[in-house]
Amino acid sequence: MIRLFYFLSIILLVSSCKTDTKSNDNNDVTAHPELSEDSKIFLGNRLFSEKTCITCHDVDRKKVGPSVIEIMTIYKAKNGDIVDFLRGKSKPIVDTTASQVAVMQANIDGFLKNITDVELDAIATYMLHVDKLNTK
Ligand code: HEC
């Protein structure tokens, strides 16, 4: 497990070095080494804590924001795209109350600007599979 952790950190380091922070016109995912689905889930789970998502989003219980299960139920039903939402490219579809939207929008305009495509993809993959993980 420790080895996997180091392995993932190295991949992350290498890929964030390659990614020019501001050049969004080159959003070619093939530029990154492809992680297996299990690695993405593992990494996404870790990032969900490290990037503080967990402080507002519990897996199955409403906190400041809706639970991950609730978010994913709606995203699956409406065919939503988590990555697009977190990049500010699509509108909220889970909780559209203005005050709640503003809380999440502050993250999108703030620290999420610095997150890499690989990290975002991992977080989205983790969220997509959260109902099948043994998180209790
Ligand atoms: C300070 C609290 C807070 C933090 C930190 C936070 N969120 Fe949220 N999030 C919210 C609130 C409140 C909502 C409900 C408003 C909404 O749906 O847009 C929300 C909604 C969402 C939604 C659903 C958007 C929709 O379509 O309605 C997603 C997806 C999401 N958050 C992902 C994340 C991820 C991933 C992180 C970490 C990178 C994160 N959030 C960090 C408070 C937070």
pLDDT tens string 111-122: 999 999 999 999
User: Residues with Cβ within 6 A of ligand 1?
Assistant: 51-53, 55-57, 64-66, 71, 82, 85-86, 92-95, 100-101, 103-104, 107, 112, 123
Provide Rg for the chain, Cα atoms: 15
Cα separation, 26 vs 23, whole angstroms:
6
Domains and CATH numbers, the chain: 37-132 (1.10.760.10)
Question: What local confidence, expressed as pLDDT, does residue 32 receive?
Answer: 54
- Of all protein residues, the one whose alpha carbon is nearest to atom 18 of ligand 1 is 101
Q: Which atom of ligand 1 is nearest to the CA of 90?
A: 26
Cα separation, 88 vs 120, whole angstroms:
12
Vertex 134 angle, CA 35 and 101, to 5°: 75
- Of all protein residues, the one whose alpha carbon is nearest to atom 29 of ligand 1 is 82
Question: What local confidence, expressed as pLDDT, does residue 1 receive?
Answer: 53
pLDDT in tens, the chain (136 residues): 555 555 555 455 545 444 444 444 444 444 456 899 999 999 999 999 999 999 999 999 999 999 999 999 999 999 999 999 999 999 999 999 999 999 999 999 999 999 999 999 999 999 999 988 865 5
Question: What local confidence, expressed as pLDDT, does residue 94 receive?
Answer: 98
pTM of the model: 0.81
Contacts of 91 (CB under 8 A, 6+ apart): 85
**Ligand 1 centroid from CA 85, angstroms:** 9
DSSP 33-87: PPPPHHHHHHHHHHHHHHTSHHHHB-SSSBSSS--HHHHHHHHHHTT--HHHHHT
